Amino acid sequence: MLGWALTFLVIALVAALFGFGGIASASAGIAQILFFIFIALFVIAMVARAIRGRTP
């Protein structure tokens, strides 16, 4: 999922460089949403691992 966020971020930066405002803002919005979903899933996974404890 982080890969998708980075992909849309790169698309947004390239589109902004060439002046395609609509594509850049759409790609940046998608990248931002995917990034926050990734961060939320990461935090949930860390909390679950802390609660469950270490397994050998």
Between 12 and 36, the more confident residue is: 36
Domain ranges of the chain: 2-52
For the whole prediction, is pTM greater than 0.95?
Answer: no
Residue at token pair 């998708």: 4
- What is the pLDDT confidence band of residue 44, given thresholds at 50, 70 and 90? very high
* Buried residues in 4-28 as b, exposed as e (16+ CB within 10 A): ebeebbebbeebeeeeeeeebeebb
Alpha helices (runs of H) in 1-56, residue ranges in sequence order: 2-18, 21-52
